[in-house]
Amino acid sequence: MTAFLDVKDLRIHFPTDDGLVRSVDGLTFSLERGKTLGIVGESGSGKSVTSLGILGLHKGGRARMSGEIWLDGEELIGASADHVRRLRGKKMAMIFQDPLSAMHPYYTVGDQIIEAYRIHHDVTKKVARKHAIDMLGRVGIPEPTSRVDDYPHQFSGGMRQRAMIAMALSCDPELLIADEPTTALDVTVQAQILDLMRDLQREFNSALIVITHDLGVVAELSDDILVMYGGKCVEYGAAETVFYDPEHPYTWGLLGSMPRLDRERTERLLPIKGSPPSLINVPPGCAFHPRCPYAERTEGRAETEVPELLKTSPGHLVRCHMAPEERRRLWESEIKPMLETT
Amino acid sequence: MSETLLSVQDLRMHFPIHKGLLRRQVGAVKAVDGIDFEVLKGETLGLVGESGCGKSTTGRLVTRLLEPTGGKIVFEGQDITHMPQGRLRPLRRDMQMIFQDPYSSLNPRHTVGAIVGAPFRIQGIKTEQGTKKAVQDILELVGLNPEHYNRYPHEFSGGQRQRIGIARTLALKPKLIIADEPVSALDVSIQAQVVNLLEDLQNELDLTYVVIAHDLSVVRHISDRVAVMYLGKIVEIADRKSLYTSPMHPYTNALLSAVPVPDPKGPRRTRAHPAARRRPEPDQPAAGLPLPHQVLEGAGDLQDGRTAPRAAGQRAPRRLSLPRERAHRHPRARDHHRLTVGAPWPGWPRSVPHSRLEPTPATERPPPRG
């Protein structure tokens, strides 16, 4: 029995004048209906490229994709562009980060939702319009009957994001990918959007992928978490496992970098040194080793050998050269106390 | 008791709205509408609020990048509210700004050396070993390689660029630094580096910061005192600990409870408060008016005589300011005053459940040096 969404060894490479950009390099994960996967990572870690890859939005000439993407028993890589286009909207949909650039400025919000709906449903404009109004109302746009004829610029940031969600959900997609859905929004608006996404997911029982760098958002929505670094998955597991028993030094770094409101204020943040690698020159061996404080514990393997993504406990995968016992010991004795006290 | 470095009294910035053939002024966007605060030497004041609340405008007013339409700004005992640019220039040495976007705040055609050396050039300051040496020292101070003197901004990553911006800010050893969203454009791991750098520099150089940010957790980490702004007004100002552990104003409470908790099993964020939905949208400033006060209509007469200009589509003048009588001093406030203003409108509950903040005392930073 395969999962609803099954991604196996996905690779998305872009040949450029400066060299091959390995944006996604061997990513494997699966997702069931009604569940949420959070993909976390810094800019340039390959999060967004992954999501566009699943939707088949990379231009064939530019991107080299390999691996397998099974959506509800259908292989998407290698499928005809026309076929994938028919799936987009109905079977899978995406909420983009910046709704202003994702919506067409010349068409009213309603027209754009109606267009999406009519592509997948053989209905009259009138019925589709009613549906669009209904969707806008569902996502909490006040007076949807009149706002349906507004242009995107007449909406505020939060409302535009809601309209984007309405558009993405208009055909009840079974897989919804949200790429930084709340990054550009204020906290109070973010809270509403998060509530909305959770409610709608419950209602439609859709599978949800949330891509973000905000660990708070991930913790709130996700069942599983995938941490990406340099185009590869470095840690993958249930949300509780990744938050309470993380084993990868990069995950530790992310947790230590973030000031937290739910704990006492720490005297110092514990940042990760250096900066994220360029995907053209991913460091040899473990991509994280130049920034890893524990790289010397691997007897030089970190610089030469790419670590495997190995299972350390049921459902918990980590890509690190250190022995699992050593990682757990470090986390329990050094990292965790530092994050929780001072 | 530390001395006051900056004091702002009843500061206002009303941007006029012109309409019609004659471009007559029909109203005003009250970006900053009568705020008072003081910044003591050596402390960090955080200024939080949502987009459009006037926090960035406040920063620009204080550094006199904008001419205020009312109120008073006193810097080191000097009234600089309407000081002409010529007399202001020498003061700019003591008052600098860090900008949000490290990509657009550095001239791409200038080398790092030219960018960080510009303040010396503009202010006509000669240093003993020459400007180049001084610039290289500063680069080293902010954690950059002094050999990068001749490189261009595009050769650096976002975090490094922000360091260049900070180096330029520090060039003339200012007393007050206004940092407008200094880390929000950076990656999480880089944010932490820059936050730590700002704290180290403060300890080393005895700096005073006003940090403007929308990220409540960053502000809590970096500030000694925090002011919460809403629609051009400060609704609550208090020391960090009491503001975050026992917020008095419902708006502060609503803001704090909206932050998602990075803890999957932890207490869930309370659902978005319906009151928050009624927040006026910043891109609909035509009304020129804060919305919640509309709901206050009929809640009593205007307390201090300020009325709103009649803007397009409005039915009647509405209350603009919150009643002063309802402001009260918080008993817990010790050194600094803690001002909270009453609920913006009847029906906004006095307290939104706010279980996440532990009431236990956080480790205190040493008191600001005086």
What Rg value do the Cα atoms of chain A yield, rounded? 21
Find the helix or strand (DSSP H, E) in which B145 lies. none
DSSP string computed for A16-79: ETTEEEEEEEEEEEEE-TT-EEEEE--TTSSHHHHHHHHTT-S-TTT-EEEEEEEETTEE-TTS
Contacting residues of A for B283, CB less than 8 Å apart: 156-157
Residue with tokens 């998407």: A76
Which pLDDT band, with edges at 50, 70 and 90, does B186 fall under? Answer: confident
The sheet with strand B225-230 has its strands ordered as: B95-98, B176-180, B208-213, B44-48, B225-230, B233-239, B339-340, B328-329
Pick among B215, B263, B270, B356 to test the A interface (most A CBs inside 10 A): B263
Nearest to B249 by CA among B314, B342, B143: B342
Question: Please, which residues 38-77 of chain B have a Cβ atom closer than 8 Å to chain A?
Answer: 50-51
DSSP H helical ranges for chain A: 47-54, 81-87, 99-102, 109-120, 125-138, 144-147, 157-169, 187-204, 215-221, 239-244, 249-257, 301-304, 324-330, 336-340
**What's residue B364's pLDDT?**
43
Structure-model confidence comparison of residues B295 and A250, the more confident one: A250
Nearest to B264 among A239, A255, A276 (CB): A239
Whether residues A261 and B216 touch (CB distance < 8 A) is answered with yes
Determine the distance in angstroms separating the CA of B280 from the nearest CA of chain A, rounded to an integer. 10
Q: What is the pLDDT of residue B327?
A: 36
Of B187, B196, B240, the CB nearest to A269: B196
CB contact B292 to A (< 8 Å): no
On chain B, the residues whose CB falls within 8 A of the CB of A267 are 363, 365
Write out chain A residues lying below 8 Å of B344, CB-based.
Answer: none
Q: A127-134: which pairs have CB atoms within 8 A and are 24 or more residues apart?
A: A131/A170, A132/A166, A132/A170
CA atoms of A50 and A159, how far apart (whole Å)? 27
- Beta-carbon contacts of residue B77 (< 8 Å; ≥ 6 apart): none
Q: Which residues is B334 bridged to in the sheet?
A: none
State whether residue A184 sits within 8 Å of chain B by CB: no
Q: What 8-state DSSP symbol labels residue B356?
A: S
**B51, B73, B36: which is closest to B234 by C-alpha?**
B36
Indicate yes or no: CB of A271 within 8 angstroms of CB of B259: no
Q: Specify whether the CB–CB gap between B209 and B179 falls below 8 A.
A: yes
All domains of chain B in start order, with CATH:
4-261+271-278+334-340 (3.40.50.300)
Summarised one tens digit per residue, pLDDT across range B23-77 is: 888 888 889 999 999 999 999 999 999 888 899 999 999 999 999 999 999 999 9
Closest to B58 in 3D by CA, of B248, B241, B227: B227
Residues 224-283 of B with CB under 8 A from A: 240, 244, 254-256, 258-269, 271-273, 276-277, 279, 281-283
H or E element at residue B327:
none
Give the Cα separation of B356 and A254 in Å (integer). 21
Q: Do B220 and A262 touch (CB under 8 A)?
A: no
**Contact criterion met (CB < 8 Å) for B220 and A158:** no
Residues B229, B48: contact at Cβ < 8 Å?
A: yes
Residues of A in contact with B201 (CB under 8 A): none
- Name the nearest CA neighbour of B276 among B364, B198, B345: B345
Interface touch B269/A222, C-beta < 8 Å: no
Identify from B53, B187, B268, B364 which residue to disrupt to test chain A contact, counting A C-beta atoms within 10 A and taking the largest count. B187
For residue B253, give the chain A residue with the closest CA.
Answer: A188
Count Cα atoms within 13 angstroms, Cβ side, for B170. 25
Q: What is the pLDDT along chain A (342 residues), one digit of tens a residue?
A: 578 999 999 999 999 888 899 999 999 999 999 999 999 988 888 888 999 999 998 887 788 999 999 999 999 988 898 999 999 988 999 998 888 888 999 999 999 999 999 999 999 999 999 999 998 988 888 889 999 999 999 988 888 888 998 899 888 899 999 998 887 778 888 888 888 888 888 888 999 999 998 888 999 999 999 999 999 999 999 999 999 999 999 999 999 998 888 888 888 888 898 888 888 888 999 999 999 999 988 888 888 899 999 999 999 999 999 999 999 999 999 888 888 764
Residues 110 through 149 of chain A touching chain B, CB cutoff 8 Å: 140
Contact: B189, A272; criterion CB under 8 Å? yes
Which class for A9: exposed (0-12), middle (13-18), buried (19 or more C-beta within 10 A)? exposed
* Contact assignment for B195 to A259 by CB distance below 8 Å: yes
Lowest model confidence (mean pLDDT) among B22-31, B251-260, B348-357: B348-357
pLDDT at position A341 is 61
Q: Nearest-CA neighbor of A146 among A133, A134, A155?
A: A133
Beta-carbon separation of A342 and B260 below 8 A: no
Q: Does ipTM top 0.90?
A: no
Amino acid at B151: R
pLDDT band at B323 (very low <50, low <70, confident <90, very high): very low
Distance (Å) from the alpha carbon of A194 to chain B's nearest alpha carbon: 9
Going by C-alpha positions, the residue among B239, B185, B216 that lies closest to residue B365 is: B239
Comparing A163-177, B217-231, B269-283, B355-369, the range with the smallest average pLDDT is: B355-369
Q: Which residue, A89, A137, A73, is CA-closest to A110?
A: A137
Q: How many other CB atoms are found less than 10 A from the CB of residue B148?
A: 17
Q: Say which of B264, B265, B272 has its CB closest to residue A195.
A: B272
All residues of chain B having their beta carbon less than 8 Å from the beta carbon of residue A256 are 192
Q: How confident is residue B190, by pLDDT bands cut at 50, 70 and 90?
A: confident
Q: Do A262 and B356 touch (CB under 8 A)?
A: yes
| pLDDT for residue A34 | 93
Check: CB of residue A15 under 8 Å from CB of residue A64.
Answer: yes
Q: Which residues pair with B16 in a beta bridge?
A: B28
Task: Choose the closest CB to B157 out of A220, A256, A275.
Answer: A275
| CB atoms inside a 10 Å sphere around CB A146 | 9
User: Which of A101-115, B26-40, B220-234, B302-316 comes out lowest in average pLDDT?
Assistant: B302-316
Please judge whether A261 and B220 are an interchain contact, meaning their C-beta atoms are less than 8 angstroms apart: yes
Mean pLDDT score across all residues of chain B: 76
Q: How far is CA B297 from CA B32, B235, B287, in A?
A: 21, 19, 16
Q: Which of residues 136-175 of B touch A (CB under 8 A)?
A: 157-160
Over residues B252-278, the mean pLDDT reads 73
Q: How many inter-chain contacts (A to B, CB under 8 Å) are there? A: 157
DSSP secondary structure of B12-51:
EEEEEEEETTTTEEEEEEEEEEEEEEEEETT-EEEEE--T
CA–CA distances in Å: residue A238 to residues A213, A235, A246, A316: 17, 10, 10, 7
Smallest Cα distance from B145 to chain A, Å:
13
Partner B contacted by A191 (CB < 8 A): yes
Contacts of A272 in chain B (CB under 8 A): 189, 192
Is A166 in contact with A96 (CB distance < 8 Å)?
no
Who contacts A325 (Cβ-Cβ below 8 Å, separation ≥6)?
none
Q: What is the pLDDT of residue B315?
A: 36
Quote the pLDDT of residue B362.
39
Residue B337 CA to residue B251 CA, distance in Å, equals: 18
- The answer, for A190 touching chain B at a CB cutoff of 8 Å, is yes
Sheet of strand B78-79: strand arrangement? B24-40, B4-19, B70-75, B78-79
B257/B280 Cα distance (integer angstroms): 19
Q: Is A199 on the interface with B (CB under 8 A)?
A: no
Q: What pLDDT is stored for residue B272 in this prediction? A: 59
Residues 267..306 of A with a Cβ closer than 8 Å to B: which?
267-273, 275-276
The Cα of A83 is separated from the nearest Cα of chain B by a number of Å equal to 37
HSE of B31, CA atoms in CB hemisphere, 13 A:
21
CA–CA distance, A212 with B96 (Å, rounded to integer): 33
Q: What are phi and psi of A240, to 5 degrees?
A: -60, -40
Q: Record the tokens describing residue B179, joined without a space.
A: 């940092």
